[in-house]
């Protein structure tokens, strides 16, 4: 009954969701307080009070629930454009399209840009859904490995670009590694893309997926709009305002992109074609009084530091994340799926790195309570001992 393409996708469906389901099963057996589920990036922090107040304020306002321009409310887009412009590149409301989360935004971009068999470069390790998004719109994912420290390998990216390359997806702060690409690295990338564009007489777009842009620790996320003309930013409030269930985000188009008016019109049309029509009305309006607020970033930093200390004490090798709320940890054995299964016997739930395009690692999400992180220490120590790490 179902399509062969979807049937194949089901076989490769999200390993993260499978671990989440395993967490529910173990919680029923041992009690949720005895299961340490680090598998899913589902923020546990409450949204800021300002966004809650805005939802209440606008829920009963006359006219809010009617249709609006497909790009979203003008006053909301103008406010976001002003905030982005404060970081360098001047944008107007016309450069913004409100979307159904970053996932919706990425799909709108890919639908607008790709012809059949166009190539999109993704950098391993990468967010697990990218391949599905690309192939869903007729594109071909081209996976390029990052360096051992997960920084950009410009030489490999340069070598992967062909006349069919339409875009490269950049995700910084990165899921699953927590790395933030430096301004110097992104400038080097831009130079490589300009060189290949000129040589191939084509346009290559950077799709900058930035849902963790506000969740950083002692670093700053460079604004790619200042660095590369053919850049489209895709952002979401799922993480910065703890609203993953609200599905609210935006697309910001560089005013210097090739054929800018055509690009923006295509994105607006595609927002309708894909059935999104427009982003949720109440949540858009609620942003008006909450745009300069975020969740408790210091709280995430405390969790990061506490979990990092536990991992090191247990003998694991990992980098301390610069942003987002993930660790990408080296497995003590080559088979990351086998290791994740063994960790589950200690009631520790992780996602295997192979699901993110980099085997031999596992991902830990620390968007759980500090209390749960601290209580997980004994389980991590026992797991480390089992593999003779300590």
CA dist 149 → 120, 144, 265 (Å): 23, 14, 39
Fold of the domain built from segment(s) 4-47+295-386 = 3.90.1150
Q: Are 193 and 158 in contact (CB under 8 A)?
A: no
3-state secondary structure 311-337: HHHCCCECCCCCECCEEEEECCCCCHH
Which two structure tokens, joined as six digits, stand for 155?
């030489």
Second-level CATH architecture of 49-289: 3-Layer(aba) Sandwich (3.40)
Is 0.85 surpassed by the pTM of this model? yes
Residue 145 bridge partners (DSSP): 124
Whether residue 125 is preceded by a cis peptide bond, meaning omega within 30 degrees of 0, is yes
Structure confidence at residue 206 (pLDDT): 98
Domain range list for the chain: 4-47+295-386, 49-289
Please count the residues of the chain.
390
Structure confidence at residue 172 (pLDDT): 98
Domain 4-47+295-386 identical in fold to domain 49-289:
no
Structure confidence at residue 23 (pLDDT): 65
Q: Are 234 and 210 in contact (CB under 8 A)?
A: yes
Cα(141)–Cα(171) distance, rounded to whole angstroms? 15
Q: Are 39 and 351 in contact (CB under 8 A)?
A: yes
Which two structure tokens, joined as six digits, stand for 207?
């799709």
Cα(346)–Cα(325) distance, rounded to whole angstroms? 22
- DSSP-H helix ranges across 12-88: 15-30, 49-59, 74-85
Q: What angle do CA 347, 350, 356 make, to 5 degrees?
A: 165
Structure confidence at residue 161 (pLDDT): 98
Structure confidence at residue 27 (pLDDT): 67
Structure confidence at residue 12 (pLDDT): 62
- Output the CA torsion sign for 152, 181, 358, 390: positive
Residues of the chain scoring pLDDT < 50: none
Structure confidence at residue 171 (pLDDT): 98
């Amino acid at each position: 009954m179902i399509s062969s393409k979807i049937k194949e996708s089901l076989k490769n469906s999200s390993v993260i969701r499978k671990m989440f389901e395993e967490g529910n099963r173990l919680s029923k057996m041992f009690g949720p307080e005895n299961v340490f589920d680090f598998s899913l990036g589902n923020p546990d922090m409450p949204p800021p009070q300002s966004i809650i107040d805005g939802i209440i304020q606008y829920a009963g306002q006359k006219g809010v629930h009617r249709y609006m321009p497909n790009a979203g409310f003008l006053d909301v887009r103008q406010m976001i454009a002003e905030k982005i412009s404060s970081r360098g590149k001047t944008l107007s409301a016309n450069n913004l399209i409100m979307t159904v989360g970053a996932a919706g935004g990425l799909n709108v971009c890919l639908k607008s840009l790709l012809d059949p068999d166009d190539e999109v470069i993704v950098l391993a390790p990468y967010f697990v859904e990218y391949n599905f998004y690309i192939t869903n719109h007729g594109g071909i994912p081209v996976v390029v490995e990052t360096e051992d420290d997960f920084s950009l390998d410009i030489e490999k990216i340069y070598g992967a670009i062909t006349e069919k390359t339409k875009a490269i997806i950049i995700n910084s702060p990165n899921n699953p590694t927590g790395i933030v690409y430096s301004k110097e690295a992104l400038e080097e990338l831009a130079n490589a893309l300009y060189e290949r564009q000129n040589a191939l007489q084509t346009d290559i777009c950077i799709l900058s997926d930035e849902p963790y842009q506000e969740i950083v620790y002692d670093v700053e996320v460079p604004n790619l709009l200042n660095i590369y003309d053919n850049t489209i930013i895709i952002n979401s409030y799922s993480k910065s305002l703890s609203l993953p269930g609200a599905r609210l985000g935006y697309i910001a188009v560089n005013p210097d992109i090739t054929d800018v008016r055509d690009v923006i019109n295509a994105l607006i049309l595609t927002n309708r074609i894909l059935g999104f029509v427009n982003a949720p009305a109440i949540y858009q309006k609620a942003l008006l009084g909450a745009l300069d607020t975020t969740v408790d970033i210091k709280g995430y930093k405390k969790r990061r530091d506490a979990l990092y200390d536990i991992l090191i004490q247990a003998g694991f090798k990992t980098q301390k994340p610069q942003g987002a709320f993930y660790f990408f940890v080296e497995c003590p054995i080559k088979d990351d799926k086998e290791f994740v299964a063994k960790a589950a016997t200690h009631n520790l739930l992780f996602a295997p790195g192979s699901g993110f395009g980099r085997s031999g690692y596992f991902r830990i999400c620390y968007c759980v309570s500090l209390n749960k992180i601290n209580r997980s220490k004994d389980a991590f120590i026992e797991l480390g001992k089992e593999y003779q790490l300590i």
